[in-house]
Homo-oligomer: A and B are copies of this chain.
């Protein structure tokens, strides 16, 4: 194990000088700096993380806490997690992965032990049990999602209200007057993740302004549950020509069932989804969709978090503006519906 002292000796300077070369916290002459840097590479020196954390009270690690339920919207979560890690590295931070399984107490553990400098919470619920602990810890934190009480935290999320509105707008512009919303699984509403309701709220509000009728049905995302929902929808509202799909798992079942039902997409039925871009592109039909910008959310989250660690940022709520991309699954409403 090569230590700071070894480097110092090899370069013929004191240990503190080496430390200052590394941190840049004091001015060091070009010559000395170069000499030290050469010694560092020659000896293959890597600063000891533990010692550094102890002396500086900074670990340069941030915790990323996964959703409490791991069965939900897996692809988005994974994408965010990877992007968070990549972004954190760019700022010199590593990422500690916390599962929901350990429960809210994990927050206290990693913070109180100084293991992490800050925390990112994914998939925050409206009244999340982790928030009080986080608040009391006093550590910088960024939430992905929007709880009911945001004071003390920076929150990053997609503007789902606007996303919902965008979907109706697009359908209304194409002449659709009756639309159905394939919602998230009932469990998602029960645990009050917030985003599902916000989407619906935005959608309904805009629909009313535009004179569009809306029918909302939650859906598990399986073929069976989709078939059930679809049956109900067409019985109750035979004139539905537009679908908005919130639950990304329900997309393929819906398309497949419509096909079986001899309803052509987009000629008879238009479909708009709220989902990651990948999902919109890889299915049987290229979907008109509002993209969930996982990478961008991660970038914002990490950016703000680092700023807070450096002490140069306030709490704020960042709602990313959604964008609707028209692809092959939507078109003009059939004439004379």
Contacts and interface: CB of A to CB of B under 8 A. Distances in A.
Interface of A: 44, 46-54, 57, 59, 61, 64, 66, 70, 74-75, 77-78, 81-82, 85-86, 89, 94-99, 101-102, 108-110, 112-115, 221-223, 249, 252-253, 256, 259-260, 282-284
Contacts of A54: 48, 50-51, 53-54
Contacts of A222: 282
A74 B81 CA distance: 12
A158 to B, nearest CB: 20
A78, A94, A95, A282 pick with most chain B CB within 10 angstroms? A94
Nearest to A58: B50
Contacts of A99: 82, 85-86, 89
A109 B89 CA distance: 12
Given A101-B86, A223-B284, A282-B221, A48 B113 contact: yes
A157 B44 CA distance: 34
A44 B112 contact: yes
10 contacts: A48-B114, A49-B115, A50-B59, A51-B54, A64-B97, A82-B99, A86-B102, A96-B97, A97-B97, A253-B284
B53 A50 contact: yes
A285 B81 CA distance: 31
Contacts of A81: 97
Contact of A109 (B46, B97, B223): B46
A307 B253 CA distance: 45
A98 B84 CA distance: 11
A243 to B, nearest CB: 18
Contact of A283 (B48, B50, B95, B223): B223
The 10 nearest A-B residue pairs measured at CB:
A50-B53, A46-B112, A50-B54, A49-B115, A49-B113, A97-B97, A46-B113, A85-B99, A223-B284, A78-B78
A68 to B, nearest CB: 12
Nearest to A222: B282
A46 B107 CA distance: 12
A297 to B, nearest CB: 16
A252 to B, nearest CB: 6
Nearest to A63: B94
A99, A249, A259, A282 pick with most chain B CB within 10 angstroms? A99
Contacts of A66: 82, 85
Contacts of A94: 96-98, 110, 115
Contacts of A82: 66, 70, 99, 101
A54 B260 CA distance: 64
A78 B64 CA distance: 14
Contacts of A109: 46
Contact of A74 (B44, B78, B223, B260): B78
Nearest to A260: B259
